[in-house]
Chain A
Amino acid sequence: AQSVTQLGSHVSVSEGALVLLRCNYSSSVPPYLFWYVQYPNQGLQLLLKYTSAATLVKGINGFEAEFKKSETSFHLTKPSAHMSDAAEYFCAVSDPNTGNQFYFGTGTSLTVIP
């Protein structure tokens, strides 16, 4: 079975500071991993995905994430926060072998302080 834990339901950073959002997963098989962003009253937009190729994955809007099997982690980072990054971020895991069901974390709300 798969599950995702996002540490820190709320994260605040200053504009221009490093963004670090944490995600740990539990999976019985090598998983696919995803980060999505959600703005208020909107659907989820894919930021990036890990699909067993390169462990360092670059996504849109300057975000990247590193898959660390030994730590079962897939943390999301951005070197310099922008005001427009304020949103809810969700980590998700899926099993490549059993179809497309996603398991989402509970989300991290990012606030960017000017």
Chain B
Amino acid sequence: EAEVAQSPRYKITEKSQAVAFWCDPISGHATLYWYRQILGQGPELLVQFQDESVVDDSQLPKDRFSAERLKGVDSTLKIQPAELGDSAMYLCASSSIFPSSYNEQFFGPGTRLTVL
């Protein structure tokens, strides 16, 4: 069964360091999402891609966060410099553009980031 892949699964870093997360969506899924999930809360959208283009990055803290999907397939989310408040689970999801998918999003296992 096709799955969304993410790496690393866990990342511990010190504040002011740079971190990067990688996501490989389900093959053929044109839409890719990055979410941040703070402990005890629901996921919040950071950025949405349609192929290689950013559709929505209104909630992305652009002074320290960046995201790219250069070839419209896999994607990287970067934080530089990391702050204590960035400790969270970072989830990647993908979806098909076809109407039969009913907007369903498929989630990866996430990357748990701890900033010390």
Contact = CB atoms under 8 A, between A and B. Distances in A.
Contacts, number: 62
Contact of B56 (A9, A34, A51, A101): A101
Interface stretch (B37-45, B60-68, B70-78): B37-45
B48 interface: yes
Nearest to B106: A46
Interface residues of A, number: 25
A77 interface: no
A96 B95 CA distance: 13
A107 B42 contact: yes
Nearest to B4: A43
Contacts of B14: none
Interface of B: 4, 6, 9, 31, 33, 40-45, 48, 55-56, 89, 91, 93, 95, 102-110, 112
